[in-house]
Chains A and B, each alone.
Chain A
Amino acid sequence: MDILAGSVVAGLLIGLVFALVALGLTIIFGMMDIVNFAHGEFLMIGMYTALIVAQTTGIDPLAAIPVAGLVGFALGVSCYYGFIKYLLRGPMVAQLLGTFGLMLLLRNLALLFFGSEDKTIHTGLLVNRGFDIGMGIIIPATKLAAAVLAVFSFAGTWLLMNRTRLGKAMTATALNRQGARYMGIPTERMNAVAWGIGGATVTVAGALLVNFWSVTPFVGLLFTMIAFAIVAMGGFGSVPGAFFAGLLVGLITEFPGFWDFIAYITGSSWMAGISMTPFKYTGVYLAYFLIMIVRPRGLFGWKS
């Protein structure tokens, strides 16, 4: 039983962080129908920012989160004004190739500055700590903190989007850019803010992840794929969709645990002998594929 409960808890915790990673992607897509292939690289920059801030100043990696958020916001806004704004004038394929190019640029810059070695945080307030919640389930403090902060970030973003004038202006821009402009909304600035928020949420997710996940310049690809799967499942542009789909994807990545549980309760030795861990992300991509066929607009999608 502890295997099942342990896998569910682990899946939900990592799912919340995955959801936060996907949040920025869905906001940007919701605002301007542009798919940011460099999203995972933004995450990588968030991870490196937290790592470098923590290592150079000696502060706890958790305290580096606001810095990572600011860096992400600045990165998002500058990418918009310096690059994306011009891409939006071109055809869809230019936008795709443009953000793909941005991905390559950021990844190779990281390679140039940080090298290809894995870097990990080995010290910190929460590193190597855990809570025993009974039934043999131990929750690592780093993952719990990441999940809790991910929930707060989600709540903050949801409130911003739904309860503030800025959020309403952004939603108006997303729904009808021309109409919003006639109403006096500076749509250009709204787009930049969307990129800023998108960048900030994903770099915050990176700063949370770096407490328990090693960083290399190539770490972004895995997360870009996962974020795409989450956004496709939750519905392009939907904030609650990203939240629930993130949880679902987190649970899917823990399916080797469920497999072991079934093997245990059925006493099946052939099932116990087979290791499912190499396929833990296969389920995610399979679900992505199925959603794209069965319900292309996703579970909570409002853009067809």
Chain B
Amino acid sequence: MRKTHSMLTVFLLFCAILFVTSPSYGADTIKIGVLYPLTGGAAAEGRELRAGAELATEIANNKMPIDMDMAKRGGITSLGGAKIELIFKDHEGNPTLGADLAKKLILDDKVVGILGCYQSAVTKAVSAVCEQYGIPMINDSSTSPALTQRELQWFWRTTPHDVTFTRDLFELLKGLSEGKVKGVPAVPKQQISKLASACEKTEWGSQVSETIDTLAKQYGFEVKKALLYAAKSPDLSSEVMSLKAAGPDAMLFASYGSDSILMVKTLKAQRVSAKIMWGQDAGFEAPEFLQTLGDDVVGILTRTVFAPKIAEVKNVAGQVNALYKQKVGNDLTGASTRAFTGIQTWVEVLQKAGSTKPEDIQRAANTIMIPGDQLIVPWAGIKFSLSKEDKGQNELGSGIIGQYQKDKEGKIMLEIIYPFDVATANMIYPFKSF
């Protein structure tokens, strides 16, 4: 009897161990490695990006009342309802660290693919690692045009790049001289022909600087000064003095988080300004920019891919924005919408591939077409180019130019100025001096 008891006990213990250690036979999870600058100078944008990616994952993994296919499935149905799991790593804006972390994600965490990395210099390094290991990478938020001119086989970019965005700027300037801008009578071109740019000097900023130079020539504008500065520079007074010396009609900036704030503060301290003040997204549309500088930003233009005003005209954007605001406390920004769209693209690619094998994902990415009505950004859709000149670039993306304006209640928000046909307010021109 005692022997039977002992055997029964051993059997039960064995069953218990089996029960505890047996794998779950529920839906699998699909790991996506996400590399963002969560600390360092661009940490504010990093937080926005992370929040956008997390919200998209939440919507993809659970059925939600949002007018988007991803929200109705509750997982990747072609993979047995598999859920997305994001593994975040902080690259601090450092390309070498980014490349190391990408290797860790691929080799140790066995991720199916990568999303990131915001700073173009980091994206460049990380995409090289992905290419080496044959792991798909979707880039949601880096805009250096050179990134898709390398004919990489494992790299796709959803966001439009800086040639598109900078062309928007010159179209705006041209429109200004032709009287197309809402609320502004035609301004003689010679009054806005002198430009000066100040761009941070890594991959992204230096490419923006070059693009401004090239397009200025095409559109018949003169770049009086094009200066590059270190984004980590703690003092920008000599840069501002140099801009002042150029005496431009329009000042154009490509700055990350803390340097965009420092730049405007220094401009204000030196009372230097121009008729047009334009920022190439990034720091200029981060929530901290507005929170820190307050009224000083009124009249500053920034290119972006999203303005909360879009939520009023695009239903799906409004639904997601409401959820985001509830979760994070502020409206969606260009950074968070692009991260959201990056994850959404990953979900749709996996759904189409029906497999986690790199080759199947590659095939799906190369042939995917996500219609514009599925997206929260005002694009015609997502379809990646297969041409050598712009391999992996989304062909259907577009940008907008917003201007910080104060409404009747004293709240400052981005009003859409360009494209002209969707402008939500009269443009403030010229920029009031600081």
A residues near B (Cβ < 8 Å) are 3, 6-7, 10, 14, 115-118, 120, 122, 128, 130, 132, 138, 140, 212-216, 218-219, 222, 253-254, 256-257, 260-261, 263-264, 272-273, 275-278, 280
Contact = CB atoms under 8 A, between A and B. Distances in A.
B241 A272 contact: no
A256 B292 contact: no
A278 B233 CA distance: 10
Given A116-B40, A117-B39, A128 B225 contact: no
A282 B165 CA distance: 34
Contact of A118 (B238, B239, B258, B268): B258
A120 B269 contact: no
Contacts of B230: 278
B410 interface: no
Interface stretch (B80-88, B242-250, B298-306, B401-409): B242-250
Contacts of A277: 227-229, 238-239, 242
A115 B39 contact: yes
8 contacts: A116-B39, A117-B39, A219-B234, A222-B234, A253-B238, A263-B245, A272-B224, A278-B201
A247 B227 CA distance: 26
A214 B262 contact: yes
A222 B201 CA distance: 18
A222 B418 CA distance: 42
A278 B261 CA distance: 19
Contacts of A263: 245
Contacts of B41: 117-118
On chain B, which size bracket covers the interface? 20 to 34
Contacts of A219: 234
B237 interface: yes
B106 to A, nearest CB: 25
B242 A256 contact: yes
Nearest to A253: B238
B241 A260 contact: yes
Given A3-B244, A212-B235, A213-B234, 19 more contacts: A3-B245, A6-B241, A118-B257, A120-B262, A122-B292, A128-B269, A138-B270, A138-B271, A215-B234, A222-B234, A256-B238, A256-B242, A257-B241, A260-B245, A272-B225, A272-B245, A273-B224, A277-B242, A278-B201
A6 B228 CA distance: 21
B269 A138 contact: yes
Nearest to B227: A275
B213 to A, nearest CB: 10
Nearest to A3: B245
B92 interface: yes
B39 A7 contact: no
Contacts of B292: 122
A222 B233 CA distance: 10
B265 interface: yes
Contacts of B271: 130, 132, 138
A149 B278 CA distance: 37
Contacts of A264: 245
B43 interface: yes
B226 interface: yes
A257 B261 contact: no
Contacts of B262: 120, 214
B246 A128 contact: no
A218 B94 CA distance: 14
A253 B41 CA distance: 23
Contacts of B201: 278
Contacts of B270: 130, 138, 140
Given A118-B41, A214-B234, A257-B245, A278 B258 contact: no
Contacts of B39: 115-117
B235 to A, nearest CB: 6
